[in-house]
């Protein structure tokens, strides 16, 4: 695809030999409004070269490079050179590219030969898959899809929380109060009841805490009874989790959780000892990190049991040996910032140069309108309930507005679940937010259903207009400001995907497809598509097809579906 920014660089380089192309490129800006041009170049740095005032330099350069086939005009404003892209070339470039590439438009091979691991979702076994898990799950899935779209060999890992002291609690609680038949009928709810009861009683009974520690230690020691109970709890929990993953259409390449690394931790502990990084403290072992402005990191408790830090170090070393990753990404809440800084620093101190390729992608927390989520106290909103309610609410709207819609149950699922995903990905991931049913299930304004409806509306137009992709189109007929604005947004889409990848921020894609949908609807409301003028109709249908294609791709990158009818 014709790169207009590169043409700006070439035009400036032709007159300023003293600057390298890379130096020119990094200084090019995008003005705040198209009235000021599509690209702008500040000439302040050229004052020393030309020994003139910046406004004089800008005026002189504008005169010299104004005759350029890619730009309708080049003008100087103060110390800036403003470049206005030739609109007919812009429209022809972008529509030809989308016609050629179709659903591959915006993809690339920039990641070819590089493996990126994305660890996300990672719920704790035997605990509810609640609304607090939605963020890691959908942010991680979107990043997985974005990296894959850009050519990376991407590996999706669900690092299940299937180890640790909570299993000592559950084993102890089950042995005291559990009923296998009751649990198997409703695994997560019944296990949650046991977990909550154990914590309530343990608050006044330290002996229960000791009992839980004992059973976790027995699990680490491969006690037959403990292992059998653990395997059963893990299996029935995963079945429940997979109901939600199926609803979200999410699949993982690996479910290797914390337990997978249990036999790999002794080597890590020996390596830390051998490299003089571990210090004994009251029978426990830790790594001092005060000189890096962090508290000590506990590696092994006095009873010999291990911790999250030990397991994360073992997991990272295993992944490097197994996948030789380019990036090892962890989509985990910002509450764990210190934990990640600690263990990544320890890996660096162990002498592993790839430590900085382990990247923590934090996100803000979800709270309820009446307070924080708490599994221990049983204060949770089940994610499956949220998704089912979204589907039910959407079906009610369809029955009200379009009761004869074909496959309306399937469309309700696509739109309802899409609404939940889209809300999660609409803002920067680091922001905290309060979960609200009303906001989650609203279809008004800048929402997923709004974008999906735009996609469906365009599909209907293409069918009614007998659109033929192979017909030749006169692009010069697409010259109104609303048409050009769509073309600009479509042209920027590939760079938006790259920006989303580089900053690990899916919301760049979300915002872009909202802007594209808004621009298209503005065009649609002012410019009839199916008109008597045959050539104009073909041109506007092609613009519509290109818009639909990009909306479909954008929704797909977010983990959403694009209904053909709504």
In order along its 566 residues, the chain shows pLDDT tens digits of 899 999 999 999 999 999 999 999 999 999 998 889 999 999 998 998 889 999 999 999 999 998 999 999 999 999 999 999 999 999 999 999 999 999 999 999 999 999 999 999 999 888 878 888 899 999 999 999 999 999 999 999 999 998 878 889 999 999 999 999 999 999 988 998 998 899 999 988 889 999 998 998 888 888 999 999 999 999 999 998 999 999 999 999 999 999 899 889 999 999 999 999 999 998 999 999 999 999 999 999 888 878 889 999 999 999 999 999 999 999 999 999 999 999 999 999 999 999 999 999 999 987 766 655 555 555 577 888 889 999 999 999 999 999 999 999 999 999 999 999 998 999 899 988 777 767 776 777 889 999 999 999 999 999 999 999 999 999 999 999 999 999 999 999 999 999 999 999 999 999 999 999 999 999 999 999 999 999 999 999 999 999 999 999 999 999 999 999 98
413 falls within a domain: no
CB 83 within 8 A of CB 114: no
The distance between the two most distant Cα atoms of the chain, rounded to a whole number of Å, is 87
78 falls within a domain: yes
The domain spanning residue 37 has which CATH number? 3.30.1360.70
Rounded Cα distance between 363 and 368, Å, is 16
Rounded Cα distance between 546 and 556, Å, is 15
59 falls within a domain: yes
CB 489 within 8 A of CB 516: yes
In three-state secondary structure terms, 66 is coil
Per-residue pLDDT at 374: 53
15 falls within a domain: yes
Q: Note down the domain range covering 76.
A: 4-85
CB 176 within 8 A of CB 186: no
In three-state secondary structure terms, 324 is coil
Strands 358-361, 327-331: pairing kind: parallel
Query: Could you tell me where the beta strands, DSSP code E, fall in 302-346?
Result: 327-331
Rounded Cα distance between 140 and 53, Å, is 50
Total number of domains in the chain: 1
CB 288 within 8 A of CB 323: no
Task: Check residue 153 and report its DSSP letter.
Answer: E
Token duo for residue 303 = 């009873």
139 falls within a domain: no
Per-residue pLDDT at 291: 96
Per-residue pLDDT at 556: 98
Element (H, E) at 557: helix 534-557
**Which of 277, 342, 358 is closest to 308 using CA atoms?**
342
Element (H, E) at 548: helix 534-557
Rounded Cα distance between 421 and 416, Å, is 9
525 falls within a domain: no
Per-residue pLDDT at 260: 93
Rounded Cα distance between 189 and 184, Å, is 10
Phi, psi of 478 (to 5 degrees): -95, 85
79 falls within a domain: yes
Rounded Cα distance between 489 and 135, Å, is 27
Per-residue pLDDT at 371: 55
Rounded Cα distance between 421 and 465, Å, is 32
Per-residue pLDDT at 379: 59
Model-level pTM?
0.92
Per-residue pLDDT at 349: 98
Rounded Cα distance between 537 and 482, Å, is 16
Per-residue pLDDT at 439: 73
Q: Alpha carbon of 390 to those of 147, 239, 334, 384, 539: distances in Å?
A: 29, 22, 27, 10, 38
183 falls within a domain: no
Phi, psi of 418 (to 5 degrees): -60, -35
> Which residue numbers are catalytic?
127, 130, 133
Element (H, E) at 552: helix 534-557
């Amino acid at each position: 695809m014709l790169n207009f920014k590169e043409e700006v660089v070439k035009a400036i380089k032709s007159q300023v030999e003293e600057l390298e192309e890379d130096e020119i490129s990094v200084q090019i800006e995008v003005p705040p409004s198209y009235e000021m041009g599509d690209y702008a170049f500040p000439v302040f740095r050229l004052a020393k070269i030309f020994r003139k005032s910046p406004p004089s330099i800008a005026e002189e350069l504008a005169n010299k490079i104004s005759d350029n086939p890619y730009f309708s005009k080049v003008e100087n404003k103060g110390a800036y050179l403003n470049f206005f892209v030739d609109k007919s070339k812009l429209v022809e470039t972008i529509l030809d590219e989308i016609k050629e590439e179709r659903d591959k438009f915006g993809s690339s091979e920039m990641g070819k030969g590089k493996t990126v691991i994305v660890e996300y979702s990672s719920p704790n076994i035997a605990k509810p898959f609640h609304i607090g898990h939605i963020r890691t799950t959908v942010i991680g899935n979107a990043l997985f899809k974005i990296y894959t779209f850009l050519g990376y060999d991407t590996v999706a890992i669900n690092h299940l929380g299937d180890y640790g002291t909570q299993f000592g609690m559950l084993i102890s609680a089950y042995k005291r109060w559990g009923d296998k038949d009751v649990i198997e009928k409703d695994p997560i709810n019944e296990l949650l009841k046991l977990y909550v009861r154990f914590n309530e009683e343990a608050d006044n009974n330290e002996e229960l805490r000791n009992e839980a520690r004992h059973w976790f230690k027995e699990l680490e020691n491969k006690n037959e009874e403990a292992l059998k109970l653990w395997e059963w709890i893990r299996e029935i929990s995963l079945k429940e989790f997979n109901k939600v993953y199926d609803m979200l259409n999410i699949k993982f390449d690996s479910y290797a959780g914390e337990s997978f690394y249990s036999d790999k931790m002794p080597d890590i502990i020996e390596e830390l000892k051998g490299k003089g990084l571990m210090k004994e403290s009251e029978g426990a072992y830790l790594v001092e990190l005060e000189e890096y402005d962090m508290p000590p990191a506990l590696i092994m408790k006095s009873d010999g049991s291990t911790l999250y830090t030990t397991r994360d170090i073992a997991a990272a070393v295993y992944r490097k040996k197994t996948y030789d990753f380019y990036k090892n990404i962890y989509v985990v809440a910002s509450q764990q910032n210190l934990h990640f800084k600690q263990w990544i620093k320890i890996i660096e101190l162990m002498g592993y140069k790839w430590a900085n390729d382990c990247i923590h992608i934090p996100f803000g927390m979800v709270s309820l309108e009446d307070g924080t989520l708490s599994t221990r106290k049983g204060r949770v909103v089940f994610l499956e309930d949220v998704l089912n309610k979204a589907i039910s609410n959407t079906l009610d709207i369809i029955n009200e507005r379009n009761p004869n819609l074909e496959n309306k149950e399937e469309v309700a699922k696509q739109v309802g679940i899409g609404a939940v995903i889209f809300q999660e990905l609409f803002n920067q991931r680091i922001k905290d937010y309060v979960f609200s049913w009303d906001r989650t299930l609203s279809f008004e304004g800048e929402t997923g259903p709004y974008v999906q409806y735009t996609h469906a509306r365009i599909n209907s137009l293409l069918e009614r207009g007998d659109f033929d992709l192979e017909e030749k189109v006169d692009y010069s007929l697409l010259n109104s400001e609303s048409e050009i604005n769509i073309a600009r947004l479509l042209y920027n889409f590939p760079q938006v995907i790259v920006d989303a990848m580089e900053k690990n921020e899916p919301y760049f894609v979300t915002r872009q497809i909202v802007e594209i949908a808004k621009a298209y609807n503005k065009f649609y409301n002012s410019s009839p598509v199916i008109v008597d003028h045959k050539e104009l109709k073909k041109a506007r249908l092609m613009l519509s097809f290109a818009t639909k294609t990009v909306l479909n791709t954008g929704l797909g990158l977010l983990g959403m579906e694009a209904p053909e009818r709504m």
